[in-house]
Amino acid sequence: MAKPRLWITRRLSDATIERAARDYDTVVNEADTPGSAAELIAASAEFDAIIPCHSEHFSAEVVAQFAPRLKIVANHSVGVDHCDLPALAARGITVTNTPDVLSDATAELAMLLMLGAARHAVAGDRIVRTGAWDFWSPSFMVGKQVTGARLGIVGMGRVGRAFAAKAKGFDMEIHYYNRSELPADQAFGAAYHSSVESLLGVADFLSLHCPATPETTDLMNRDRFALLPRGAVLVNAARGALVDEDALLEALGTGQLSAAGLDCFKVEPGGNPAFAAHDNIFMLPHIGSATTRTRDAMGFRALDNLDAYFAGQTPRDLL
């Protein structure tokens, strides 16, 4: 029996590609560039399965032009806001994602963003790196202390809970907003807030860990930034769509926010060029899950879902 034909849209980990090549008739996009709409449409006639990343966009318009051969889209990501799920379901295409395996790596990066933003990492690195460090005083580079501070978490899913667990190591007072209150044994002693607005009032540090949906687009806007304690720090290692970037710049300009740590942006790749002028924005290029162990685990989870589907079983991570 012929192996199912699989297109891998980006250069995944070596271990993932080796396993895929063993079990499937695999084609890898060695150019490692985002799959275009035309390429996705063409692939639907040539492949039984696709493993895409967040860089490929399965819009309703694109999916409407798919050939009937494509049976499953096994995402190499947790977020699926790049997929029009109703459109894919209407075409009978199974969709999966890769939860669980990237929570710790993403939470680690959120901690890096929080610490880097709070302690002037951008300015400090630039001063030393350029040879401009020729001065010291007790008032030099004074930042915001994380230990013992109040942390607000929006979204206590897998990543939010992993971040809360790490924040406990800094003796932070943790508060969270979630669609529903967690059982006490999952909340790490955090105080539950039934609204975002209630949470914001106590968040010296605010970390976003919710998905991008129509309801959460521009979740942090001008009005909500104004509800934070003055001098708060924003951390976003989730999705760029969650933050109104113009409102963020305004809040930084007035001192309502003292700093921000960002791993995601409205426009990716590229980010927001206006941010580059602000040393109090600590930025990374959407690399929350970028560790060797996590990339292998994500690739294997996507392949596990394919294996189950082609064995006639329900994939573990069916959406």
Q: Give the residue numbers annotated as catalytic, written as ranges.
A: 239, 268, 286
Calpha distance 198→176 (Å, rounded): 10
Calpha distance 217→239 (Å, rounded): 9
Residues 6+ apart with CB under 8 A from 161: 103, 182, 186, 188
Strand order in the sheet with 25-28: 25-28, 5-8, 49-51, 72-74, 94-96
Task: Read off the tokens for 298.
Answer: 């994500």
Phi, psi of 250 (to 5 degrees): -65, -45
Calpha distance 203→319 (Å, rounded): 33
Q: Are 229 and 203 in contact (CB under 8 A)?
A: yes
Q: Are 43 and 50 in contact (CB under 8 A)?
A: yes
SS3 170: coil
- Compute the CA torsion angle 46, 47, 51, 53 (nearest 10 deg): 20
